[in-house]
Amino acid sequence: MNDYLPILLMIGLVIAFAGLSFVASGLLGPKAPNSAKQAPYECGIVPEVEPAERFPVKFYLVAMAFIVLDVEIVFLYPFAVVFRQLGLFGLITMGVFVFGLLIPFAYLLSVGALAWGPVQRRIAASIAPVRRSSGAVFDPAATRERDTAHEAA
């Protein structure tokens, strides 16, 4: 118990300081609310109109994909350091880990979470037409005809 006494004392001091700070700010703070004080602070600029639209959901999907891949990379660093000592068991374990984190990323790609913006529109416009079949088939002849038509014009 004596080993943990400094830690418990520190936790008690932190809780006491946080509580006293809240009580002191409530007692000593000014009590004159007005519309400027109640408004949210946004870089000092008061908005003149409401925003036209919300952020698209794809923005949040990209943010979540970034976080998932970030976590994966953080866990891969220690694995890379001790790779030779872990042997086959470590390789299989990390393979399962990477596969488990790449499944959500593959899902995000399949639903088009990263397919937005002007770059995606250009890519879609540059792809040659495809023939209708049970699956998508790339038609190289249509690409040559399109390129020939552009050169002639």
Dihedral angle over CA of 131, 136, 141, 145, nearest 10: 70
* Average pLDDT rounded to a whole number, residues 43-56: 69
The CATH number assigned to the domain holding 112 equals 1.20.58.1610
Global pTM reads 0.39
Q: What is the pLDDT of residue 122?
A: 62
pLDDT range class, residue 106, cuts 50, 70, 90 = confident
Q: What is the pLDDT of residue 68?
A: 78
- In terms of pLDDT, which residue wins out, 35 or 152? 35
Q: Are 128 and 139 in contact (CB under 8 A)?
A: yes
Domain assignment of residue 150, yes or no: no
Q: What is the pLDDT of residue 117?
A: 65
Residue 127 one-letter amino acid = I
Residue 100 one-letter amino acid = G
**Ranked by mean pLDDT, which of 34-43, 63-72, 103-112 comes out on top?**
63-72
Q: CB under 8 Å to 93, separation ≥6 — which residues?
A: 86
Q: Which domain holds residue 103?
A: 55-126
Domain assignment of residue 148, yes or no: no
* Average pLDDT rounded to a whole number, residues 34-39: 75
- In terms of pLDDT, which residue wins out, 68 or 129? 68
- Out of 39-53, 88-102, 105-119, 130-144, least confident range: 130-144
Q: What is the pLDDT of residue 148?
A: 64
Sign of the CA dihedral with 136 first, then 138, 139, and 142 last: positive
Domain assignment of residue 88, yes or no: yes
How many residues are listed for the chain in this entry? 153
Domain assignment of residue 38, yes or no: no
Q: Which helix (H) or strand (E) holds 131?
A: strand 130-131
Domain assignment of residue 34, yes or no: no
Distance CA 126, CA 146 (A): 10
Q: What is the pLDDT of residue 19?
A: 96
- When the pLDDT of each residue in the chain is averaged and rounded to a whole number, the result is 76
Domain assignment of residue 90, yes or no: yes
Q: What is the pLDDT of residue 33?
A: 79
Domain assignment of residue 106, yes or no: yes
How many domains would you assign to the chain?
1
Q: What is the pLDDT of residue 90?
A: 87
Domain assignment of residue 61, yes or no: yes
